[in-house]
Amino acid sequence: MGNVIAGLIAVVLISAFLLFYAVTLKTLPLWIIIVGVLALVVLDFVQSVKKGKEENED
């Protein structure tokens, strides 16, 4: 459970950090890169949570 909370905090912090730059600089290529990076961060978080639950069940 602690890993889920830590991961969620990390996702929120990196989202805030990257969205700050996206709003400040307002260029389309930067927005595309930031949206892609955030999608990968969320995907990694979800996969890590699922893998952690599977390992705990074994």
Q: What tens digit of pLDDT does each residue of 1-58 get?
A: 788 899 999 999 999 999 999 999 989 999 999 999 999 999 999 999 998 887 777 6
- How high is the pLDDT of residue 26? 87
Question: Comparing C-alpha atoms, which of 9, 10, 12, 33 is closest to residue 21?
Answer: 33
Please state the domain count of the chain.
1
Owning domain of residue 9 = 2-57
- CA 26, 27, 31, 34 dihedral sign is negative
